[in-house]
């Protein structure tokens, strides 16, 4: 469905046949990922064994991240198309797992970041006389998501009881949709404010070695990969400089 919507927009852009003017855009956004569920890549895996097993996992959030964005594109009367590169820093997984017989409190901690490159099309939907120009945007591309080492704590078992699993990096299809408004503040210079939603694929831990620390021993065992969807929403503020005619 996401790919279909993007195709419709790009076909509309191609059909309009506008005389495009180049521009560059610099943006800053604050985004949140409030609903994260960490589960096994394959909950029935035995070689290597799954970390959680079927019906188990960790639920929480990746919290807030700051997004830095650089884009270059071309703009016509009503439509603009750009290639945007965005780096999101500051994600921190804060969740609680539900392993059996390990107590109600099972904190899960990890840091994460994401980088994405997307082709984005925006359509001006305002009447010609409006100074503030509402627009809608849709885009797609690829994201590279990096999850650091993840720590599972079990204070109900003993002080210092924890399990540490590897981090991971993966590439995923990414999708964005936004609605906002633009205003011209000087010749060729515009300010864009938008609310956006992003589906950035998944964070994944790699299959590897888990370190299990308990009061009387430390074990190292092979473990399969885990995953968690990364979806964000937030507000972005951009400065857009039109390089051709104002």
pTM of full prediction above 0.75: yes
pLDDT (mean) for 38-47: 95
For the cut 90, the answer to whether the pLDDT of residue 2 exceeds it is: no
The pLDDT of residue 76? 87
Alpha-carbon torsion angle 241, 242, 244, 245, nearest 10: -120
Residue 245: per-residue pLDDT: 60
Task: List the structure tokens of 147.
Answer: 């999850």
Task: Examine the pLDDT at 236 and tell me if it is beyond 60.
Answer: yes
User: Across-strand partners of 63?
Assistant: 33
């Amino acid at each position: 469905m996401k790919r279909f919507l993007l195709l419709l927009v790009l076909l509309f852009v191609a059909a309009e046949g506008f005389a495009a003017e180049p521009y560059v855009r610099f943006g800053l956004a604050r985004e949140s990922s409030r609903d994260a569920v960490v589960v096994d890549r394959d909950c029935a895996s035995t070689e290597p064994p799954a970390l959680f097993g079927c019906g188990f996992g960790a639920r929480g959030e990746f919290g807030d991240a700051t997004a830095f964005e650089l884009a270059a594109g071309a703009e016509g009367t009503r439509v603009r198309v750009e290639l945007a590169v965005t780096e999101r820093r500051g994600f921190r997984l804060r969740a609680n797992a539900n392993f059996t017989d390990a107590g109600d409190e099972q904190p899960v901690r990890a840091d994460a970041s994401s980088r994405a490159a997307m082709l984005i099309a925006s359509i001006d939907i305002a009447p010609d006389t409006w100074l503030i120009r509402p627009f809608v945007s849709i885009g797609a591309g690829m994201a590279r998501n990096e999850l650091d080492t993840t720590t599972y704590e079990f204070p109900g078992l003993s002080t210092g009881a924890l399990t540490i699993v590897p981090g991971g990096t993966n590439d995923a299809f990414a999708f964005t949709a936004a609605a906002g408004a633009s205003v011209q503040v000087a010749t060729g210079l515009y300010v864009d404010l938008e609310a956006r939603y992003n589906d950035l694929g998944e964070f994944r831990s790699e299959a590897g070695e888990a370190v299990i620390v308990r009061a009387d021993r430390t074990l190292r065992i092979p473990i399969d990969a885990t995953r968690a969807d990364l979806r964000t929403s937030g507000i972005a503020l951009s400065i857009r400089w039109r390089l051709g005619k104002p």
